[in-house]
Structure 1
Amino acid sequence: MDEMLSQTAIETVPELPQGMPVPSLSVVYIPQLGFHITMPLEEATDLAARGPNADWERMFVTDTHAYFKNNRMRTMDQELGDLWAIICDIEIEISHDLAQRVLEREDFLVQASELCGELDSLLALAHGACEYKLSRPRMVGDNVIDVKAGRHLIQEMTVPSYVANDAFLVGGDGPEDEDGAQGEPGQGHPNMLLLTGPNYSGKSVFLKQVALIAYMAQVGSFVPAERATLGITDKIMTRITTRETVSRGQSSFMIDLQQISWALKAFTHRSLLVIDEFGKGTDSCDGAGLCAGVLQYLLTQGSLAPKVLASTHFHEIFEQDLISEQAPGLGLRQMEVQVRHKHRARRGIGDHNSEVIYLYNVRPGRSTLSYGAQCAAMNGIPDAIVERACELSELAMAGEDLVSICASITAEEMADLEDAEAVSRAFLELDLDALTPDEIANFKSILDELITSSSAYTRTSTSSGADLPRIPS
């Protein structure tokens, strides 16, 4: 329509009356009124002043423009008429009719859409199962998570080889596993796996992989494991990542506490709780106490106990008997590592030069070291800082008072303090009022003599209690 109107306006210009300047002419289409030539009002007045013209007829006027019809416009009205309006009316009728027919078959179309969506989802899950070597989980009514050789799909894509690990958890009222075994030897039915081990050893990845396997099984997907037997899990609640934001006035530890608080209020015996190093955002004593308190609370829920996966670096919760290693429902696990000890140029500073080899195997028992110094050295922390950290760690493990040790001073520092005390005492003994004008003018030399003699005296005096020499005024 726009192109046709523009072309018609160009063809209309030669039809203007003789001697009339070319006006700002255009052709428009007005529904129900047809095609018109329009031009500014002052130019249209000039056209009217040139006398009557049978070909041009002024139809109506607005505040700014006048609208005309000529033979060309009349021909277009006859040939095209309100074709555009008719087309729009027909489109509306067709759309309305289509909508009515769709509504008549609404139930069928909704069912077809749902089936197509379900088919698309199943095809995607089947493709993923083939692509990533997933296995079909066995869903049971028991409140259990039993995973054989589980993997973390995303982590597996980022490493050349991935070490698979087992996991076995039973929630409240947990039954026997599929082989009839009562859990693992000496552990009974563990509803909590507490993981310890060095930094970088794969603790967080293991916690996440078990939670992801449970989640994938719930949505009907195959899982990344050699074999998996899982019961229904109604909630998966985590304390893994702390997301801080300036828009909320909350510290990282406050966010951790809120996550734990919500989990403790909302869990059921069918829930899975994943707690990764809770308590690390505050004082080590408070953090260890809070961590031990949360774990002990979850262990004492009896038939209401949820399934819990946890990790910690607070070894003192066992060494100080905050939690018993034989607590019912507790399964201790550790990440396996090997340590190669290298020769140390100095003894007694902590073996931070040793090489830690991570095997990423989950084994029964607990770790007693986090190898933080080795991790710091591997990541470029200066040797002096790492050595000092090792010294303090060894003193702390030996039960020494770190405050008094760090506050002690060396013999050289003690000598400097004695020098300063002697100079101060000698200066206080000066009778400044008795100084002569010449002595006042030469006061700097008196101070130099005082400092020199006092320092020399403290270095040569014995413990006989000899008095300091008086500096003559």
Structure 2
Amino acid sequence: MAQLTPMMMQYLQIHEEVPDALLFFRLGDFYEMFFDDALTASRELEIALTGRDCGLEERAPMCGVPHHAAQNYITRLVEKGYKVAICEQVEDPKDAKGIVRREIIRIISPGTISDGKLLESKKNNYLMALYLEKNALGMASLDVSTGDFFVTQIEAKTREQWIAQLSDELGRLLPAEVILNSAMFKDEQALGLVENRFGILASLYPEKYFNVKNGSKRITEQFNVFALGALDLEHREYAIAAAGALLQYLDETQKRVLTHIKTVRYYNSNDFMVLDLSTRRNLELTQTLRTLDKKGSLLGVLDKTVTAMGGRTLRRWVEAPLLNRARILERQGCVEAFFTNAAHLPNFKNIMTRVYDLERLCGKLSFGTINPKDLLALKQSLSTLPLIKDFVELLDSDKLRHLFDTDDLLTDIWEYIEKSIDDEAPMVIKDGHVIKTGFHHEIDTFREAAEKGQDWIRELECQERERTGIKNLKVKYNRIFGYFIEVTKSNIAQVPEDYIRKQTLANAERYFTPELKEMENKILGAQEGLLRCETQVFQEIRDELLKEIPRVQQKAREVAELDAIYSLASVAITNHYVCPQITEDKIVQIHNGRHPVVEDMVGNQHFIGNDCTINDDDQRMLIITGPNMAGKSTFIRQVAIITLLAQIGSFVPADSASIGVVDRIFTRVGASDDLASGQSTFMVEMTEVANILKNATNRSLVILDEIGRGTSTFDGISIAWAVVEYLHNEDSIGAKTLFATHYHELTELETLKPGIKNFSIRLKDTPDGVIFLRKIIPGPADQSYGIEVAKLAGFPVAVTRRAQEILGHLESGEDTYRQELLVKEPPVLVGGKGNQLNFFDVAKSMTPEEEAALGIIRDLKIDEMSPIEVMNVIDQLRKKI
């Protein structure tokens, strides 16, 4: 260190404060990085790597980015999972004695982004703190861009329980960054869950910050309360430890008091329906299984919100359905008020298009990054509140009036911005004309002086052209030379004697006069004074508005909920949904129900609806058999989704529905390896089933699709049979269950266990093959039709013929099948074809439309397609022919 230059010593000393971050070190108009940071940044940002003398024998690796373009580079680094510390000059170089003093003003990480392109407009960006003590877990989650702050704690009996609940919460909130106490950081399974399963940036945070006493003090300071009881945090030590550490982390990284964090909400699993990670994934609630896109998910169908904050609210509703019947009915009543006034909804949408993201505007106000354009956006948003009030009163709904406070429309805030900020204010303060004329006397004085000076300059130019006879004489200005008179070389002979030469150019000479110099000082003084004064007054306006953040946030929540309700109503109107009855009975009864996502893809006119009744008596469990591609999975999923929709207060895709509130929805659907944890497909399946058997109750809805397939047939049947019995048994669980299976042996349970009923998919045999009618009917399927599906998938005819032959022997129970069938060679095919008519041989007699359809079938990569994608193709082919 002794050999280093003073500037490089300062750099390394500051970097010691943030060893896990890349340090953007301000030097003039650039942010510079040195040593390892430079190597990393030059590689990740693809910028030139140079060197700088640092006092050592070798030059220090160096790279840099322009100050004015730094945000784009910072965003790219944070997107790649890096933390970036911003180090600024905090004193004027003119006043510095020695090296200029510098300090870190902010640390930006994936969980502390307040604005920028990394923030999804309709999704929260959470920073999470986790505190582990034995089998108790404290959890705090905060979106610093909006101020949404949630805490909870898990007191489990076993390690397995808190790991499972942690997985559920991580899957629901999907935080961008997590800070951990030492016990949590040392737990390999928990750390692996955070970093590998969910790909979240995780950091060890010092244990001293998870202290309950210090956490309590920090929480009461932040929310200005005397005791934690006012925040429903009394005697919740684990949640307090996590919340206190999270606030302390923000203090250290953001270097400011974040005044927009005004409320903290404690929640527990009794507040809403807990949906485990498997259920969220299998029902494709917010993203699809294959592409992880919102489009094609349930949220993709439901989200017609106009505002970003409305979109975030709707997402939270979908991820956390309600359990309290009164709250469900209250929200449903709001949706119904919109639904029954469909003619007025376009007007509401038009109003909402003028509303900006009020929650994140409050965040920018708190961070001190709000600009004049943002304040104009705030003003415009507030101007819609009287219009929203008129709309609510037009709908004449007590539930909507309870939701939207029509008394406080923030008119005073609107008026304050209206009289202070110029309607044409620029984005950057230094561009001027930010403060409206008439708001501040000193600004008006400076502005008048500057404008009069410009008028004087224009008059001077006209006078000098007339006096000298030089028609192209110009009075100009630049930052280096100030104001000057410019004359081209061809007119130099006409220059008066009182002109004083200032600069010589290739084609012109520049001059000034004592009079021009005097006016220059006045004009520049006025402009500098104007900028200084506008900057100061803008800061004062911002400080005044900071006091009003709680009111704006409250109104933002109300508007966001109205927008989410509008979205649910719009979808219900467009897609012909109905208002379900919500009961406390253990009954789910759906008439002509439909899968909302599949219906959205294939169209309402092509989707075949189905009835479903599950009760606590004679139909507590439905065993559904039938071939693949027939619609079993779609049917059982749609029952789960309709139930979920009902419990978020939405209308549902059916002709009618009566939904008894369920405490949880469990699903076990599909098959996939968990390579990260070294688990096979079968192990994943068994783990998910075990979770259901341990946590389901008699008020749960369980969806099972093909369990037991990952092992031998007899093992699979045995496991499936035992699971059915355990779920059915009222002494163990007694849950409402839909069980789709290919094990026809399970259909015998209908005669053995009261409450189990067999259902199947109706099919139609035709000379050209099997047609799936998509209709659920009582009774088991008479056969599996697996070979028919193989034909549809494009198996070579030789393989399907051979399979049919083998099946016939197996079903006949012949003892000689080993010798006569398995040893016997397959039949020799002439020219690679069997004697029966090949489907593709009839192409010669087809219409052009049928030939085109056949071409599409030939090119299908059916093994890479999902059932929904296959259904889409079939629907398109049907239209073609």
Q: TM-score, normalised by structure 2?
A: 0.34
What does residue 236 of structure 1 align with?
A: 665
Matched residue, 1:162: 607
Task: Determine if the alignment matches structure 1 residue 338 to structure 2 residue 752.
Answer: no
1:373 to 2:787 alignment: yes
Are the aligned partners of 1:201 and 1:360 in contact in 2 as well (CA < 8 Å)?
A: yes
For residues 288 and 36 of structure 1, do their structure 2 counterparts lie closer, same or farther at Cα, with a shift above 3 Å needed? farther
Matching of residue 306 in structure 1 with residue 724 in structure 2: no
**How far apart, in 1, do the equivalents of 2:645 and 2:591 lie?**
15
Question: Greater CA radius of gyration, 1 or 2?
Answer: 1
Q: Output the CA distance in 2 between the equivalents of 1:293 and 1:89.
A: 79
Which SS does the other structure have where 1:119 is aligned?
A: helix
2:590 match: 147
Q: Please tell me whether the aligned partners of residues 36 and 73 of structure 1 are also in contact (alpha carbons under 8 angstroms).
A: yes
Give the number of aligned pairs.
327
Corresponding residue to 1:209 among 615, 638, 643:
638
Residue type of the alignment partner of 2:613: F
Task: Provide the residue aligned with 1:194 in structure 2.
Answer: 623
**Match of residue 521 from structure 2:** 77
Q: Does 1:277 align with 2:706?
A: yes
The answer to whether residue 771 in structure 2 is matched with residue 357 in structure 1 is yes
The more displaced of 367-376 and 249-258 is 249-258
Amino acid at match of 2:534: I
For structure 2, the residue ranges without an aligned partner over 5 or more in a row are 1-429, 432-456, 458-476, 485-499, 503-511, 826-881
**Matching residue of 1:119:** 562
What SS does structure 2 have at the residue aligned with 1:198?
coil
Maintained 8 Å contact 2:727/2:733: no
**Over residues 299-358 of structure 1, what are the superposed CA-to-partner deviations in whole Å (9 max), with x where a residue is unaligned?**
11348422211100011334xx6x453412212111111223x4xxxxxxxxxxx62122
Q: 2:751 aligns with which of 325, 334, 356?
A: 325
**Partner of 1:469 in structure 2?**
none
- 1:199 is paired with a residue whose SS is coil
| Aligned CA distance change for structure 1 residues 79 and 364 (closer, same or farther; 3 Å) | same
Measure, in 1, the Cα distance between the counterparts of 2:521 and 2:692. 76
Letter in 2 for 1:328: P
Q: Is the 8 A contact 2:726 2:732 kept in 1?
A: no
RMSD (Å), alpha carbons: 3.4
| Residues 1:366 and 1:78: Cα distance change in structure 2 (over 3 Å) | same
C-alpha displacement of 1:409? 5.7
Find the residue that maps to 1:212 and give its secondary structure: helix
> 1:131: how far off?
0.8
Residue 394 of structure 1 corresponds to: 808
Instruction: Determine if the alignment matches structure 1 residue 97 to structure 2 residue 523.
Output: no
On the 8 A contact 1:299/1:328 being kept in 2, the answer is: no
Question: Are the equivalent residues in 2 in contact too, given 1:35–1:77 (CA < 8 A)?
Answer: no
Deviation larger for 208-217 or 69-78: 69-78
Whole-angstrom distance in 2 between the partners of 1:212 and 1:335: 20
Offset from partner CA, 1:9-35 (integer Å, 9 cap, x none): xxxxxxxxxxxxxxxxx9647xxxx97
Q: Secondary structure at the match of 2:562?
A: helix
2-structure distance, mates of 1:385, 1:98: 76
Structure showing greater relative contact order (alpha-carbon pairs closer than 8 Å, 6 or more residues apart): 1
Once the two structures are TM-superposed, the CA of residue 403 in structure 1 deviates from its matched residue by 4.6
CA distance in 2, matches of 1:90, 1:358: 73
Compute the displacement of 1:100 (Å): 2.6
Q: For 1:262, what is the secondary structure of its paired residue? A: helix
Question: What percentage of residue pairs aligned between the two structures are identical?
Answer: 29
**Equivalent residue letter for 2:809:** L
Matched residue type, 1:139: I
Separation (CA, whole Å) in 2 of partners of 1:325 and 1:76 = 102
Distance in structure 2 (CA, Å) of the matches to 1:189 and 1:409: 49
**Structure 1: distance between partners of 2:692 and 2:713:** 23
Shift of 1:222: 0.7
Q: 1:70-115: CA deviations, max 9, x gaps?
A: 96776533322273465245334334334434524x4432332122
State yes or no: 1:218 paired with 2:663: no
**Contact residue 674 and residue 684 of structure 2 kept, 8 A:** no
Structure 1: 4+ residue segments shifted above 6 A: 34-37, 69-74
Letter in 1 for 2:760: Q
Please tell me whether the aligned partners of residues 621 and 736 of structure 2 are also in contact (alpha carbons under 8 angstroms): yes
Query: Under a length normalisation based on structure 1, what TM-score does the superposition of the two structures give?
Result: 0.61
Shift in CA distance, 216/208, structure 1 to aligned 2, threshold 3 Å: same
